[in-house]
A and B are shown apart, each in its own frame.
Chain A
Amino acid sequence: MAQMIPPKEKMKREPVSMPEQDPKERSHNFKEVPLGYTREQAIYEAQRCLQCKNAKCMKGCPAEINIPKFIEKIVEEDFAGAYLEILKTDDLPAITGRVCPQEEQCQQVCILEKQKKPIAIGRLERFVADWARENNIHGSLPKVSKKEQKVAIVGSGPAGLTCAADLAKLGYEVTIFEALHQPGGVLVYGIPEFRLPKSIVKYEVKEIEKLGVKVITNFVVGATRSVDELTREFDAIFLANGAGAPRFMNIPGENLNDVYSANEFLTRSNLMKAYAFPEYDTPIKIGKRAATIGAGNVAMDSARTALRLGAEKSHIIYRRSRKEVPARAEEVHHAEEEGIIFNFLTLPVKVLGDDKGNVIGMECLKMELGEPDDSGRRRPIPIPGSNFIIEVDMVIDAIGTSANPIVARSATGVKINQWGYFIIDDKTSATTKEGIFAGGDIVRGSATVISAVGDGKIAARAVDEFLSSGKSLRKSK
């Protein structure tokens, strides 16, 4: 039986930190950085949970997990029960347990946050999911009767996978179309192995396939088939094709040989496993001095990947100051520990190259902070004449993405906004064409895995409502 601990005792306890790989060692390998809780650590941490009646943490969770309940199961040492509890609403627990910004969601609203000691919900979620995987515990198959209606999902990232799982559990026949040769979207091409091992993504996708979801890889919606063509074969469609196209600075020298978009750099390393070249055939540039432009999570991933590939120095170049850095605090902390050099208030103006197209440096301007801009952050202003050159031999642009038009171009009647993202009804994720829904980054721009998971859930409910009312894309012809 669970050990009863008085609330006062609970409050006294310090949060259990998670063991991590040593920074010096890990900056040269692609193995995961945090090592996970032991059974004892998980129970000790779970025991701190106050089991609030009106649990605020749940409202902070887009995946709608019953957080107190799964934590209670951990206290009871019923890890399988905890796993099945999470699986009721989140089919990607080992993934969300790793990459969610819990400090901005469930943990931010935890009652213990006031003491700066919120429950480590993400770490507990990760523990439970890893334990279940290692102990061969699986969710049960849907008990509902199979429905006739067919749903197409475009993209197998977190939004698509979540929507697919929820709809399969309701009995629908779900097919996911994936453009790449492996399912997972940003989880496989974008997020590095050292933050999210690909074997885990593979496993959770397989579990979703067991629910009856069909995943067709190597199928580019917008090229292999248009969305219009899919409307003839499916009763409803969820578009979750991701953020897509890379953004560049539009400065001179940006098309030199050793200038990468973060998308290309990370895709080569993560999806194509270029870090294991030549065992894997895809090559990647290994610079001696790498400069990553931008300071979001993708920039941290890029700079840390460059370091692991063998760069002697790996810089983050950011035009604002430390205070405005958009990446998760944990990512910045890890990057600093590993020796990433941060150049704040620095604006690249030109990439310098030799006559063969190789990068030999980057010219930058110093910035100062002025009045707050539209985003509420102080506007960075270039200091005239402050030009200086950073010696680098490779540059990675990690300044965000823009909408990839190929899916939208093939979807008649589905309207996009001025930036190319789908226009939707926030409550239902319905696009301007009845029966077609959209979510994830192709609606939000670059956001988080968990917001995509949330979008997938909203869309699944809306698709179910649409189809339950007897409507169908095929009938509307």
Chain B
Amino acid sequence: MYKIIKTEKLNDVIYSMWVKAPEVASSVQPGQFIILMISEKGERIPLTVADFNREKGLIRIVFQIVGKTSEELSTLEEGNKLFSFIGPLGRKTEIENYGKVITVGGGTGIACIHPIARALKNAGNEVTSIIGARNKNLIIMEEEIKKVSNQLIITTDDGSYGRKGFVTQALKEILGKDPKIKKVWTIGPPIMMKVTCATTKPYAVDTIVSLNSIMVDGTGMCGSCRVTIGGETKLACTDGPEFDGQLVDWVEFSNRLTRYKESENKSWDKYKVYQHECKCGRKEN
């Protein structure tokens, strides 16, 4: 069992949690993910690591409520325990001193970008981070990202904070001005990553994406997370999760993310009804 040490509500839908998992914390690297189960009857969900503390044996995860499991996870409190917490899984980010690099984060992808930007900066890169959301309320981890970047640009769709517009507009502006940008990392909703890749393509800048496919074991056994990269089938869990964004078959990737939509909704609805009826003292969100 894995104890939850600290929880934090980052906004209406996104939560942060530090979990005691010394074995994972001692070997985790930026870009890797974990798989957790809330209870024995729970599903296994992959989450990219948002931060870690090796000395204290802690892993930070950041998640958005998108269904039953994430909603249930959001109700857990400090001192509660998770049934399963496995990792670190996947290949680590290839960190080198590239020179000038950009990290682009959207939604919970901002959290995934965090350890990557930090490692890139520590390796001597000049890191520009662009983080975006629909509105001010949805921007997360601004201070943390600022600390690990040389420059931070914030965009909101409605202009309620930072620049008005999408992350890709800010990205295009920098790429247009600065030919020395060597590499871009982008993590966020599939559509954001896809559009980011389209934005960088004319500039021929290497663009790395992190694919959060549906997984079961996360160790290369089941093949649930297969993605087509440059015409070849790869597993996001063991070949990824990071891939060259220009080679990703985005239509297939997005389709496969909807594989269980119907069941997921059914499970979520049932959970909501249960929460509503039982009034068992769990806090309402």
Residues of A within 8 A of B (CB): 179-181, 189, 217-220, 222-225, 242, 244-246, 248, 250, 254-258, 260-261, 263-264, 267-268, 272-273, 277-285, 356-357, 404-406
B residues in contact (CB < 8 Å) with A:
23-24, 27, 37, 41-44, 68-69, 83-89, 216-217, 219-224, 226-228, 233, 235, 238, 252, 255-256, 258-260, 263-264, 266-267, 270
- Which residues of the other chain, A, contact B224 by a CB distance below 8 angstroms? 261, 264
- Assuming the A-B contacts A272-B43, A283-B260, are A220 and B219 also in contact, with contact meaning beta carbons closer than 8 angstroms in the complex? yes
Smallest CB separation, B59 vs chain A (Å): 12
How many whole Å from A225's CB to the nearest CB in chain B?
7
11 CB < 8 A contacts A-B: A181-B37, A220-B86, A246-B221, A248-B233, A255-B226, A264-B222, A278-B263, A281-B41, A281-B43, A285-B259, A404-B238
Who on chain B is nearest to A179 by CB? B219
| A181-B84, A246-B223, A261-B223 as given contacts; A278 in contact with B267, CB under 8 Å | yes
Contacts of A257 in B (CB 8 A): 255-256, 258-259
Q: Are A356 and B258 in contact (CB under 8 A)?
A: yes
A224 pairs with B27, CB closer than 8 A: yes
Quick one: given A267-B222, A404-B219, are A223 and B89 in contact (CB under 8 Å)?
A: yes
Which residue of A222, A261, A278 has the most chain B CB atoms within 10 A of its CB atom? A278
Residues of B close to A250: CB separation below 8 A: 233
Min distance, Cβ B226 to any Cβ of chain A, angstroms: 6
A263–B84 contact, CB under 8 A? no
Please report the C-alpha to C-alpha distance between residue A244 and residue B267 in the assembled complex, in whole angstroms: 30
Q: In the bound complex, what is the Cα–Cα distance between A281 and B263 (angstroms)?
A: 9
Asked if B220 and A218 make an inter-chain contact with CB atoms under 8 angstroms apart, the answer reads no
In the bound assembly, the distance between CA atoms of A244 and B88 in angstroms comes to: 18
What's the Cα separation between A245 and B239 when bound, in Å? 12
* List of A residues within 8 angstroms of B41 by Cβ: 273, 279-281
Looking at chain B's contact residues, the main secondary structure is mixed
Contacts of A264 in B (CB 8 A): 216, 222-224
Residues from chain B with Cβ under 8 Å of A406 in the complex? 219-220, 238
The answer to whether A267 and B216 have CB atoms under 8 Å apart is yes
Of the candidates B228, B233, B238, B267, which one forms a contact with A281 in the assembled complex, judged by CB atoms under 8 Å apart?
A: B267
Q: Could you tell me if B88 and A248 are in contact, using CB atoms closer than 8 angstroms?
A: no
CA distance A356 to B256 in the complex (A): 9
Contact B86 A263 (CB under 8 A): no
Smallest CB separation, B74 vs chain A (Å):
15
* Cα of A256 to Cα of B259 in the assembled complex, Å: 9
A134 to B21, CA, bound (A): 38
Closest Cβ–Cβ distance, residue B268 to chain A (whole Å): 9
Shortest A402–chain B CB gap in Å is 10
Contacts of B216 in A (CB 8 A): 264, 267-268, 272, 282
Asked whether, in the complex, the Cβ of A263 is within 8 Å of the Cβ of B226, the reply is no
CB-defined contacts of B259 to chain A, threshold 8 Å:
257-258, 285
If A223-B87, A250-B233, A268-B216 are given as contacts, then 17 extra A-B residue pairs at C-beta distance below 8 Å, sorted by A number, are: A219-B86, A223-B27, A223-B219, A224-B88, A225-B23, A248-B223, A255-B226, A255-B252, A261-B223, A263-B223, A264-B216, A272-B43, A273-B41, A277-B263, A277-B267, A280-B42, A404-B220
Residue of B nearest to A283 (CB): B263
- Closest Cβ neighbor of B90 among chain A residues: A223
Bound together, the chains give a CA A279 to CA B270 distance in angstroms of: 10
A224 to B260, CA, bound (A): 29
Please determine whether A272 and B88 come into contact, CB atoms closer than 8 angstroms: no
Contacting pair B42 A218 (CB below 8 A): no
Q: Which residues of B are found within 8 Å of A356, using beta-carbon distances?
A: 255, 258
Most buried by A among B85, B86, B222: B222
- Most chain B CB inside 10 Å of its own CB: which residue of A245, A255, A404: A255
Name the B residues within 8 Å of A267 (CB-CB): 216-217, 221-222
Roughly how many angstroms separate A264 CA and B256 CA in the complex, as a whole number?
Answer: 14
Q: How far is the CA of A254 from the CA of B259 in the complex (A)?
A: 14
Residues of A within 8 A of B264 (CB): 283
Q: Which residue of A lies closest to B83 (CB)?
A: A181
CB nearest to B24 among chain A residues: A224
Q: A220-B86, A281-B267 are in contact. Are A357 and B223 (CB under 8 A)?
A: no
Q: In the bound complex, how far is the Cα of B273 from the Cα of A424, in angstroms?
A: 56
State the CA gap A273–B216 with chains docked (Å).
12
Give the CA-CA distance A255 to B259 in the complex, in Å.
11
Kindly list chain A residues whose C-beta atoms are within 8 Å of the C-beta of B221. Answer: 189, 242, 244-246, 263, 267, 404
Contact between A246 and B222 (Cβ–Cβ < 8 Å)? Answer: yes
Cβ of B128 to closest chain A Cβ, rounded Å:
31
* Pair B256/A180 contact, Cβ less than 8 Å: no
CB distance from B87 to the nearest CB of A (A): 7
A272 CB contacts on chain B under 8 angstroms = 43-44, 216
State whether A218 touches B85 (Cβ < 8 A). Answer: yes
Bound-state Cα–Cα, A283 to B226, Å: 18
Chain A residues within 8 Å of B89, by CB: 220, 223
Contact pick for A261, options B27, B44, B84, B222, CB 8 Å:
B222
- A351–B145 CA distance with the chains assembled, in angstroms: 45
* Inter-chain contacts of B235 with A (CB < 8 A): 245
Q: Which residues of B contact A179 (CB under 8 A)?
A: 86, 217, 219
Across the interface, name the chain B residue whose C-beta is closest to A221: B219
> How distant is A289 from chain B, measured CB to nearest CB, in Å?
18
Please name the residue on chain A nearest to B238 by beta carbon: A406
Cβ of B86 and Cβ of A218 under 8 Å apart? yes
Q: Name the A residues within 8 Å of B258 (CB-CB).
A: 257, 356-357
Q: Which residue of A lies closest to B45 (CB)?
A: A281
Query: Which chain B residues lie closer than 8 Å to A278 at the CB level?
Result: 263, 266-267, 270
Contact of A244 among B27, B37, B220, B266 (CB under 8 A): B220
Which residue of the partner chain B has the closest CB to A357? B255
The chain A residue sitting closest to B21, CB to CB, is A218
CB distance from B30 to the nearest CB of A (A): 15
Q: How far is the CB of B110 from chain A (nearest CB, A)?
A: 25
Residue of B nearest to A218 (CB): B86
B87's contact among A220, A242, A285, by CB below 8 Å, is which?
Answer: A220
Which residues of B lie under 8 Å from residue A273 when comparing CB positions?
Answer: 41
Closest to B68 in A: A281
| Residues in chain A near residue B37, CB distance under 8 A | 181
Shortest beta-carbon distance from A230 to chain B in Å: 12
A279 to B266, CA, bound (A): 11
CA gap between A338 and B54 in the complex, in Å = 54
